[in-house]
Amino acid sequence: GAGVSQTPSNKVTEKGKYVELRCDPISGHTALYWYRQSLGQGPEFLIYFQGTGAADDSGLPNDRFFAVRPEGSVSTLKIQRTERGDSAVYLCASSLLGPGEGDTQYFGPGTRLTVL
Amino acid sequence: SQQGEEDPQALSIQEGENATMNCSYKTSINNLQWYRQNSGRGLVHLILIRSNEREKHSGRLRVTLDTSKKSSSLLITASRAADTASYFCATDDWPGTYKYIFGTGTRLKVLA
């Protein structure tokens, strides 16, 4: 595709519910990143995929958060038992090679998650 | 989280003036990148500078890097109203992890 796309653009849910956020990276990009951004803050790293595998998931805040990338392209971030503190913009980015190669990350427009 | 820090946090200038933003970071790096963000949504990559480089230019942008001080600066020359945005630096916390660590950002407002 032309760029990174994320769906939905906005998601409102109730506390305790389960949500899935989807990211479609740029075709051919092997690296995929998820970030979370709270108001007035910079993006906070959550997880990085190289191909199908999670190379670094140390940013996931707790075991309610999980992400997959089964075929090495589309990724889904899953949040169980949502809490009000999970409200944020969730950003996805992809790059051709990955960290250490110094290549550019291309960001999607983000999904704004609101937990009531 | 180990975010870097940008300063100033906010900057307001007149169109045509230059804008300088600074970024400090905590870890060793392989490269440092600057991004722009409009309206709190997707980030746009501006420029990447590697740890063995000291200065880089791209159009009206000039980035410097001082690894001994663990700091970088972004200069935007002849600013335009369209440059109004938040600007973030990101470092790759090298070696050992795959994280990109973003700073807290500088909110730039260019007045027409």
Output the DSSP codes for A5-63: EEE-SEEEE-TT--EEEEEE--TT--EEEEEEE-TTS--EEEEEEETTEEEE-TT--ST
Inter-chain CB proximity A89 and B50 less than 8 Å: no
Residue A104 structure tokens:
């550019």
pLDDT digits (tens, 9 = 90+) for A29-53: 999 999 999 988 899 999 999 999 9
Cis peptide before A8 (omega within 30 of 0): yes
- Identity of the residue in B40, B94, B100 whose CB atom sits nearest the CB atom of A105: B100
Question: What does the pLDDT read at residue A101?
Answer: 66
pLDDT digits (tens, 9 = 90+) for B23-66: 999 888 888 999 999 976 789 999 999 999 999 999 999 999 99
The percent of residues above 70 in pLDDT, for chain B, comes to: 91
Stretch A96-109: mean pLDDT, rounded? 81
Stretch A95-116: mean pLDDT, rounded? 86
Distances, alpha carbon A11 to alpha carbons A18, A19, A54, B40, in Å: 11, 8, 25, 16
Tally of CB atoms within 10 A around B78: 11
Closest-approach residue (CA) in chain B for A41: B104
With beta carbons less than 8 A apart as the criterion, state whether A112 and A86 touch.
no
With beta carbons less than 8 A apart as the criterion, state whether B3 and B101 touch.
yes
Q: Which residues of B touch A102 (CB under 8 A)?
A: 30-31, 48, 50
With beta carbons less than 8 A apart as the criterion, state whether A103 and A13 touch.
no
**How far is Cα A26 from Cα A36, in angstroms, rounded to an integer?**
20
pLDDT-derived band at A103, boundaries 50, 70, 90 = confident
Residue B95 structure tokens:
């070696």
Rounded to a whole number of angstroms, the distance from the CA of B104 to the nearest CA of chain A is: 5
A98 touching chain B per CB within 8 A: yes
Residues 6+ apart with CB under 8 A from B93: B2, B27, B28, B29, B99, B100, B101
